Structure 1
Amino acid sequence: MIGGHLATLAGSAWARTALRYGVTALAILLFLLALRRSGERAGRLAERLEAMEEANAGQRRMLDAAARRPRDCDELAERLRDGQF
């Protein structure tokens, strides 16, 4: 007897409408969760990119300083005499 009532309930118009709204709400919820996850991932990638840019800038400064260093003791002495250091 209960099975007959369930079949009637599932076949009613309001049950189909409720099911349609429920499925739509679930799809929207899943979409929002996926959007949040992709936003978090994008934020982590942006932080990683910023850290890499800072590291590259530091390495570039070190390479520039190494390119300007005195080549030998005589050049060092000459720069010290000229006050370039």
Structure 2
Amino acid sequence: MLTGFAASPWVRSALRYGAIILAVLLFLLALRRSGERAGRLAERLQTTEKANDVQRRMLEAAARRPRDRDDLAERLRDGRF
């Protein structure tokens, strides 16, 4: 039989429940941390998508620009600018 601190059944039961509560608490903290990390990654992805969209629109606009001064003057005369 155990002698000392953990000899009483009440103490062993309290230690067992304390260990279970500690494990659940650590699990919840890890879950919260992984949720925060996922949120940061989603925010980073959204920011990257916005930047890529802006860059794509800039490239499309550059592809439609007049090639030279004559092309610019022709567009202005035709009203297509």
Count residues with an aligned counterpart: 79
Aligned residue runs from structure 1 range 27-42, under 5 A: 27-42=23-38
Alignment-derived partner of residue 76 in structure 1: 72
TM-score, length basis structure 1 = 0.88
User: 1:16 deviation in Å?
Assistant: 1.1
Alignment-derived partner of residue 45 in structure 2: 49
Letter in 2 for 1:10: A
* Alpha-carbon distance in 2 for matches of 1:59, 1:10: 67
- Flag structure 2 segments of 5+ consecutive residues without an equivalent: none
SS of the counterpart of 1:84?
coil
User: 1:22 deviation in Å?
Assistant: 0.2
Identify the structure with bigger relative contact order (alpha carbons < 8 Å, sequence gap 6+). Answer: 2
- Structure 1 residue 20 and structure 2 residue 10: aligned? no
RMSD: 1.1
- Which stretches of structure 1, 4 residues or more, deviate above 2 A after TM superposition? none
User: 1:27 deviation in Å?
Assistant: 0.3
Q: Report % sequence identity.
A: 73
TM-score, length basis structure 2 = 0.92
